[in-house]
Amino acid sequence: MCRIYIRLSVFFLLSVFLSSCQEQDCDFCDVETQEVLQISTSYGDIYVKLFEETPLHQQNFDSLVRAGYYDSTEFHRCVDNFVIQGGSPTSKDDNRNNDGSGGPGYTIPAEIDTSIYKHHFGALAAARLGNMTNPERRSSGSQFYIVTDPDGASFLDNEYTVFGTVLAGMDVAKMIEKQPKNANGLPNERIPIIIRYVSLSPQELIDRGIVL
């Protein structure tokens, strides 16, 4: 009888120990997940990183994403071997002639520092009005573009604020870039986007080709 009691006690303690380990492992997995910005399209996902060195743009983009501002906006301008551009709220309506003309009603002071970030392949930058009406080079409050030229776009350096970079998904960006379009770069078919923060495990980061 004593032996049975001892065996049951040992089994109970072992079960508690294993359960505790499993809970610790789960907590450990939670700690290991990384929050990444995901731009979702019907062509696939693009993952981007925002730069801390451009805090005004980082905070603005972050707040718009968390508010769902970009959801159902579109990539309204696609230029072969140059850029894909999106983030205009006017791209949500049925009038495609006004796509690219909207914003949240404010602009952002330029944070241009070409000694740190340039218009390389995959650079994430803020669109803006031209120098004639915008000599301070203030950025649009919401519109952004991704450089799709493998050689970069160095002629844009010192003109527009680069505030992030693509971590993975440039194949998706290139696919979007090549869609049939009119002379102004407006795609014939709508390309809606959803931007969300997603938590990914180390294995999921590897599977998506993301290097943080």
pLDDT in tens, 128-160: 999 999 999 999 999 999 999 999 999 999 999
User: In which domain, by residue range, is 109 found?
Assistant: 33-207
Whether 25 is in a domain gets the answer: no
Q: What is the pLDDT of residue 42?
A: 97
pLDDT category at 212 given cuts 50, 70, 90 is: confident
Per-residue confidence (pLDDT) for residue 128, from 0 to 100 = 97
For residue 38, is it within any domain? yes
The pLDDT score that the predictor gives to residue 35 is: 95
Predicted TM-score (pTM) of this structure: 0.84
Q: Domain holding 46: CATH number?
A: 2.40.100.10
How far, in Å, CA of 150 to CA of 81, rounded?
7
Alpha carbon distance 144, 91 (integer Å): 13
Residue 136 to residue 145: CA distance in whole angstroms = 19
Is 1 part of any domain? no
Count up the domains in the chain and report the number: 1
- Whole-number mean pLDDT of the chain? 89
Q: Mind listing the pLDDT tens digit for each residue in 2-37?
A: 444 444 444 444 444 444 444 444 444 455 899 999
Please write the tens of the pLDDT for every residue from 109-120: 999 999 999 999
Residue 23 maps to a domain: no
Residue 96 lies in a domain: yes
Alpha-carbon distance of 115 to 104, in angstroms, equals 30
Tokens matching residue 145: 């573009």
